[in-house]
């Protein structure tokens, strides 16, 4: 066996993947088996450093995630473990945590081999003025843009016991991250990704058949259960039908979006921010938009895309052929509004079900 250069080859138990963000971060995150640290642009490369430090359509900040794994099994027919998905995993979780766009570029070193990362997203353009691209914290749950706060989601990763809440958080994070990546090029798809993310959370928060009946209706169902020979089965069937997906979707937002949320806005003028008294109607309309798209093919991307003033709701009544669609578009939040709602809801769900720490550190 040729042992030359052995010390120079990648270790089989140390994996490295790469991610990047359109925002700007400081610091690093380090545990006994995981390190997230900056990958710096080449010294003296004025163009690369300009995009790294300044607001630019090509702004990017890159990181290498290094982590330790068990030695691979060495036997005939054994598959080589692939750790590139870890980049997607962290990119999604960090997108939700910070409310910033993160892209996964795949592996640099995997199970003892060098890998070529995918850099296509690294050179893509972005609007540096959009909330998920700026170099400042978000208005809601605005964690400082320092990698040390990855600890908040790492605790969830590091949990041995997997639960439906863990699965929902990770799955919703993937769709939320996809929404941020698609926001500028395909706002319609981004909107649908956010609806899917919220639906995943609602399915975990309010499993089918558990609640959503008001007191009067619950009393009626209990009377049916007690009065009929097969009343228990009939009552169960009624609960499943009454507890429809849309009602769970809306109720989950109502459970997690608190009054404090409406004290802030991403809009240039607060008058175009989301309003508490219109909130239930807005969330219901957002879900109806997805239904219209699925069942009739109605397009809506140009009505919800981000505006220069970052409106969170419509400025006026959209002019479309179908009056019902016009009303839905008028009531529904824009992409900027729905993104803000969805991130807040996912994080509040993680606080309630996974004990995530959402305390914002005060400036020294």
Please write the tens of the pLDDT for every residue from 225-284.
Answer: 888 788 788 777 766 655 577 889 999 999 999 999 999 999 988 889 999 999 999 999
User: What's the whole-number mean pLDDT along residues 99-123?
Assistant: 95
Stated pTM of the model: 0.89
* Of 363 and 197, more confident: 197
Q: What are the tens digits of pLDDT across the range 72-96?
A: 888 887 888 999 999 999 999 999 9
3-state SS, the chain, equals CCCCCHHHCCCCCEEEEEEEECCCCECCEECCCEEEEEECCCCCCHHHHHHHHCCCCCCCEEEEEEEECCCCCCCCCCCCCCCCHHHHHHHHHHHHHHCCCEEEEEEEEECCEECCCCCCHHHCCCCCCCCCCCCCCCCCCCCCCEHHHHHHHHHHHCCCCCCHHHHHHHHHHHHHHHHHHHCCCCHHHHHHHHHHHHHHHHHHHCCCCCCCCCHHHHHHHHHHHHHCCCHHHHHHHHHHHHCCHHHHHHHHHHHHCCHHHHHCCCCCCHHHCCCHHHHHHHHHHHHHHHHHHHHHCCCCHHHHCCCCCCCCECCCCCCCCCHHHHHHHHHCECHHHHHHHHHHHHHHHHHHHHCCCCCCCCCC
Grade residue 56 by pLDDT with cuts at 50, 70 and 90.
confident
pLDDT recorded at residue 55:
75
User: What's the whole-number mean pLDDT along residues 307-335?
Assistant: 92
Grade residue 208 by pLDDT with cuts at 50, 70 and 90.
low
């Amino acid at each position: 066996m040729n042992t030359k250069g052995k010390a120079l080859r990648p270790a089989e138990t140390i994996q490295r993947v790469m991610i990047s963000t359109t925002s700007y971060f400081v610091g690093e995150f380090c545990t006994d088996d995981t390190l997230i640290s900056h990958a710096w642009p080449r010294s003296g490369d004025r163009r690369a450093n300009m995009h790294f430090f300044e607001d630019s359509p090509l702004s990017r900040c890159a990181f290498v995630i290094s982590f330790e794994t068990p030695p691979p099994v060495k036997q005939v027919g054994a598959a080589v473990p692939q750790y590139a998905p870890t980049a997607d995993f962290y990119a999604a979780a960090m997108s939700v945590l910070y409310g910033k766009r993160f892209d996964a570029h795949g592996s640099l070193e995997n199970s003892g081999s060098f890998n070529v990362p995918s850099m296509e997203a690294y050179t893509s353009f972005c609007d540096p003025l959009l909330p998920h691209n700026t170099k400042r914290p978000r208005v809601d749950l605005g964690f400082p843009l320092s990698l040390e706060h990855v600890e908040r989601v790492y605790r969830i990763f590091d949990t041995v016991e997997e639960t439906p809440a863990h699965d929902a958080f990770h799955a919703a994070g993937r769709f939320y991250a996809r929404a941020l990546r698609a926001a500028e090029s395909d706002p319609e798809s981004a909107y649908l990704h956010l609806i899917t993310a919220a639906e995943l959370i609602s399915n975990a928060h309010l499993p089918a058949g558990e609640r959503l009946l008001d007191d009067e209706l619950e009393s009626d169902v209990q009377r049916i259960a007690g009065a009929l020979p097969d009343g228990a089965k009939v009552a169960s069937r009624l609960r499943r039908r009454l507890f429809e997906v849309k009602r769970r979707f809306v109720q989950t937002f109502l459970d997690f979006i608190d009054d404090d949320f409406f004290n802030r806005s991403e809009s240039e003028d607060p008058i175009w921010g989301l309003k508490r008294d219109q909130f239930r109607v807005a969330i219901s309309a957002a879900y109806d938009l997805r239904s219209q798209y699925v069942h009739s093919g109605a397009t809506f991307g140009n009505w919800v895309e981000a505006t220069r003033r970052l409106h969170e709701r419509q400025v006026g009544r959209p002019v479309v052929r179908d009056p019902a669609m016009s009303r839905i578009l008028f009531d529904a939040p824009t992409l900027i509004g729905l993104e803000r709602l969805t991130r807040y809801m996912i994080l509040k769900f993680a606080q309630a079900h996974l004990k995530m720490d959402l305390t914002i550190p005060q400036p020294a």
